[in-house]
A and B are shown apart, each in its own frame.
Chain A
């Protein structure tokens, strides 16, 4: 710390140059924060997927329905602890841009299958007592300012092509940050009864989630499930919940690769910008470095001073950029529902901090070595 005023003073020597370098580092780290949040939004479901849950869907496509009768057959398969189904409702609230997922479910089975959704017991009781009752996640409730007791009209372009009316009986919270609380769930019995009127889809569901007794046996159980329905009119494809979520994410592309590619290009540019700043900074004060050595600073101490200056620059820019990214992403999904898990994970903030230190070391190393190797007598001549 006793060298801080020397390091800080050197950093402030060329205020414009330092400010511009700082700004470019800051922008790079804001971009880093945003891309991490987008990646989290697109692949976060994979990380949050239950290790003991499998998704069973139609072998042809997720949009093909499966018979409701499969549930009891699945529950009989060795290794299966429970099963619950969901069906894509695809409803629109007021405007198509107000997108969020709605699914009819069997409340007790559903809540047992997804303990990460926290619903107060009295609201659960109200849901079971209200045929048109629906529960909605905190995110969507806040977004549309819905509260328990509200009646919500939702138009379904798939089911009956009419506006359905639901009573909000509960608002669920997520167990942890990143748990998706943008969805709405309502009762399957109400849904199935109502769709009899369109003569299509009755007794059919979208997909099943099954819980296995032993996660280590998940692959075997998946195989048994698919074998059970082999050669039937609705063959199944069973996969871990994480792989299912990954499949959705992969529709956008290899997110991790895209993010790494963009960040790689950005940080390489920053590497050159900061490296050039530090090289210039050292070249301009070779004589001063000679003075430091003359009065007793060792080569290692001179190396440390230049590296500390470089790290201070990148950590300052990086820290401010990360803080700004944190603030900008703290407001959540900027798309109004397309990216429910949009947030800047703490893990990525820590990676960002590490990256800022690494950037400082890499960009400072060459000029620092140059400073370290200076011969005192030669350096003093260049004062």
Chain B
């Protein structure tokens, strides 16, 4: 679980970040002078219209991309200065991702999908299996461990995605529209699960969403418009 020292301060510090994409001769400013802090143990929702930069911000916090300007510090590490190789190792240690379209490997069963991040650790096969069983139990899918993604419903696939995200007990869980592809009932189940992970297991969660119903489950919601933070609400 997260370092107790980090819990005292901000787990995520985004400071004066700019992100510019170059398309031909055109520069597209996606994020402008953005500053954000996320304390350990918080459930934060990032809201905003399409193109507001919320997914780009999530990518920067998750070490999938680097800012054009500014600093990103997560769990005490300045990740904007890390090399690709260092970033990969850092992500494996600190970040769990949950994607809108689940992004499971269709050729692997649910349990083998959940095991994927553990393949990068030095755990033995038996230890990995134990972790996988625990993660699947946490999302209520122990009975579907041997099933391939194509035989699971959307909600079940997303729960496998969450199990994969938490199996290494990451410092931070990043969710990109986790209910965007689900009906209301399945979406609610996923939100209940995320809320439980935050409240019962102290997991720090940052969730990108369009849906006010989803953002209402978070402890705090920040709005982005055209790459800038425009408002903030604490539930």
Contact = CB atoms under 8 A, between A and B. Distances in A.
A297 interface: yes
B107 A3 contact: no
B97 interface: yes
Given A2-B125, A297-B120, A377-B59, A291 B103 contact: yes
A307 B106 CA distance: 20
A295 B85 contact: no
Nearest to B86: A298
Contact of A12 (B85, B107, B119, B164): B107
A9 B116 contact: no
| Interface hub of B84, B95, B119 (most chain A Cβ within 10 A) | B119
Nearest to A288: B105
B64 A295 contact: no
Contacts of B103: 287-288, 291, 380, 383
B88 A293 contact: yes
A51 interface: no
A294 B107 contact: no
Instruction: Assign chain A's interface to a size class.
Output: 20 to 34
B65 A295 contact: no
Contacts of A380: 64, 99, 103
A2 B92 CA distance: 17
A379 to B, nearest CB: 9
Contacts of B84: 298-299
Given A296-B120, A298-B85, A380-B99, A5 B105 contact: no
Interface in B86-103: 88-89, 91-93, 95, 97, 99, 101, 103
B168 to A, nearest CB: 8
B97 A294 contact: yes
Instruction: Assign chain B's interface to a size class.
Output: 20 to 34
B112 interface: yes
Interface string A1-25: 0110110011011000000000000
Contact of A9 (B65, B88, B91, B108): B108
A236 to B, nearest CB: 71
Contact of B85 (A2, A3, A299, A383): A299
Contacts of A9: 105, 107-108, 112
Contacts of A263: none
A295 B121 CA distance: 12
Nearest to B100: A383
A26 B71 CA distance: 55
B215 to A, nearest CB: 22
A312 to B, nearest CB: 14
Contact of B64 (A10, A12, A298, A376): A376
B117 interface: yes
Interface in A247-306: 287-288, 291-301
B59 A295 contact: no
Given A6-B108, A10-B107, A295 B125 contact: no
B88 A299 contact: yes
Contacts of B91: 294-296
Contacts of B93: 296
A383 B99 contact: yes
B84 to A, nearest CB: 6
B62 interface: yes
Contact of B119 (A3, A291, A293, A375): A3
Interface of A: 2-3, 5-6, 9-10, 12-13, 287-288, 291-301, 375-377, 380, 383
Interface of B: 59, 62, 64-65, 84-85, 88-89, 91-93, 95, 97, 99, 101, 103, 105-108, 112, 116-117, 119-120, 125, 164
27 contacts: A2-B119, A5-B108, A6-B105, A6-B116, A6-B119, A9-B105, A9-B112, A10-B107, A287-B103, A291-B99, A291-B103, A294-B64, A295-B91, A295-B92, A295-B97, A297-B120, A298-B84, A298-B88, A299-B84, A376-B64, A377-B59, A377-B64, A377-B65, A380-B99, A380-B103, A383-B99, A383-B103
Which 10 pairs show the lowest CB-CB distances between chains A and B? A296-B92, A9-B107, A298-B88, A376-B64, A291-B103, A295-B117, A296-B91, A377-B65, A377-B64, A296-B120
Given A5-B112, A294-B64, 5 more contacts: A9-B105, A13-B107, A295-B117, A296-B120, A376-B64
